[in-house]
Structure formats: structure tokens, C-alpha cells
């Protein structure tokens, strides 16, 4: 049940980031929010016992929110600084 809360919190954080930055990459930001909340949530639950994917609690929700915020902040900073993460390959014609 806590895992569902992590996913919902990550999706909400991604949606808020999308609206705040007025960006076109809504699906990407929502996905990054979910990924951030799941990664930090599972890391903190496994390593430190903070928040559990089995139970809904405030600690787990806070950790998920922090994880989503960190990942989304990095993504927004990279995007606004015009950092290209993946370059499109150009096809060569012989």
C-alpha cells in the first residue's frame, strides 16, 4: 500500500513541476517524479528502515516527496541550461 502512495506522490510532484515550469514534457516530468520517489523511497526503506512499501506512513510519504523533488529539480536545471542528455543520431546516406 505504501508503494502506491509513493507512486501517487511522485506523479503529483511531476505534475506540479510541469505546471510550474510551463514545460511541454509533462509525461517525462511525471515519470521522473515517480522514478525519484520510488528510488529514494526503496533506498531509505531498505537501508535505514524509514518508510515502508508495505504500510502507509508519514515518513514514507516524506521520503517519496524528497526523492521526486530532487530528481525533478535536476531535470529542470538540465533542461533550462540546455544540456542535451541524448543526441539524435543522424543517418548517413552513401
Q: Measured between alpha carbons, how far is residue 39 from residues 24, 68, 87, 92 in Å? A: 24, 9, 26, 39
CA distance 81 to 38: 26
Q: What pLDDT is recorded for position 23?
A: 72
Which residues 6+ apart lie within 8 Å of 35 measured at CB? 10, 71
Q: How does residue 93 score in pLDDT terms, banded at 50, 70 and 90?
A: low
pLDDT per residue as tens digits for the range 50-70 = 777 677 778 888 888 898 989
CA distance 73 to 67: 10
Amino acid at each position: 500500500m505504501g508503494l502506491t502512495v509513493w507512486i501517487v506522490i511522485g506523479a503529483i510532484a511531476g505534475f506540479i513541476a510541469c505546471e510550474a515550469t510551463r514545460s511541454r514534457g509533462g509525461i517525462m516530468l511525471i515519470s521522473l517524479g515517480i522514478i525519484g520517489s520510488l528510488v529514494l523511497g526503496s533506498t531509505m526503506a531498505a537501508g535505514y528502515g524509514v518508510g515502508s512499501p508495505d504500510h502507509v506512513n508519514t515518513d514514507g510519504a516524506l521520503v517519496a516527496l524528497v526523492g521526486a523533488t530532487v530528481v525533478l529539480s535536476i531535470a529542470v536545471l538540465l533542461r533550462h541550461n540546455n544540456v542535451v542528455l541524448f543526441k539524435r543520431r543522424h543517418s548517413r546516406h552513401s
